[in-house]
Chain A
Amino acid sequence: MRTYELVFVVDPRVSDEDVVAMTQEYKQMITAGGSQISKEESWGRRKLAYPIAKLNEGKYVLLCIESEGGKSSLPEVEHRMRQNDKILRYLTVRTDEDLKRAASRHPKTAGRAGESPGGPGGPGGVGGDTAAGPATAGEV
């Protein structure tokens, strides 16, 4: 089984409902391609480290995906994201191999790396950022 993490940054002018709708659409594409969504997180509005398309903020959404075998619709999802100009950035990372390698290094602490990749710092790492909040605050 392969696991992926997909993070995308949406234009902050898009309303929260529309972000949810967009996420829903992508999730449907993923599940239609025979993969499961194992985790979904919305980090909400966050300050960008540098301006993208003259915007200083973005809304972050994280999807953790589990896919069986080789087939998955991720290329199509990425293609759609590339064409959607409301999406400022996206990143898909395959995580199963790295996590497996990490688990074999320290079998005792492996669970920690696996279950909460956000770690103690969590995704809302930057201090003083109100939008960062608890990572799961905007959970849909």
Chain B
Amino acid sequence: MARPRKVFYRRRKVCKFCADKIDYVDFKDVKLLQQFIPERSKILPRRISGTCARHQRLLQQAIKRARHLALIPFTTD
């Protein structure tokens, strides 16, 4: 009477930067950075985006630089 086990398919997340072979995250590339800042303008965590550690680090730096120049917001109110 064993109930059929529910199988979870979890799509494996891939680091976008590794996939696209982007090694230098440019703070001027607003379009790229915006993919990693959801509505509240927070930096999308690695656990959601699947970005690898080194690229998340570069991304974080780039986002902070872009914020300073008002290219992307700190918050949305």
Residues on A lying within 8 angstroms of B by beta carbon are 5, 7, 9, 48-50, 52, 58, 60, 62, 88-89, 91, 93, 95, 98-99, 101-103, 105-106, 109-110, 113, 117-126
A102 touches B23 (CB 8 A): yes
Given contacts A117-B24, A118-B29, A125-B29, contact A49 B67 (CB under 8 A): yes
B26 touches A91 (CB 8 A): no
Interface of B, secondary structure class, is loop
A106 touches B23 (CB 8 A): yes
Q: Mark B47-68, 1 if CB is under 8 A from A, else 0.
A: 0000000000000000001011
Q: Which residues of A contact B3 (CB under 8 A)?
A: none
Q: Which residue of B lies closest to A117 (CB)?
A: B26
Q: Which residue of A lies closest to B77 (CB)?
A: A50
A88 to B69, CA, bound (A): 9
Q: Which residue of B lies closest to A90 (CB)?
A: B69
A to B CB contacts below 8 Å, 30 in the list: A5-B28, A49-B73, A50-B70, A50-B73, A52-B70, A58-B70, A62-B28, A89-B69, A89-B70, A91-B27, A91-B65, A98-B24, A102-B23, A105-B23, A109-B21, A109-B23, A113-B22, A117-B24, A117-B26, A119-B22, A119-B29, A119-B32, A120-B31, A121-B30, A121-B31, A123-B29, A125-B30, A125-B32, A125-B33, A126-B30
B70 touches A125 (CB 8 A): no
Q: Which residue of B lies closest to A135 (CB)?
A: B28
Q: Pick the most buried of B24, B65, B75: most chain A CB atoms within 10 A of its CB.
A: B24
Query: Which residues of chain B from 5 to 59 have any CB-CB distance to chain A below 8 Å in the complex?
Result: 21-24, 26-34
Q: Which residues of A contact B69 (CB under 8 A)?
A: 7, 9, 60, 89, 91
Chain B nearest CB: distance from A91 CB in Å?
6
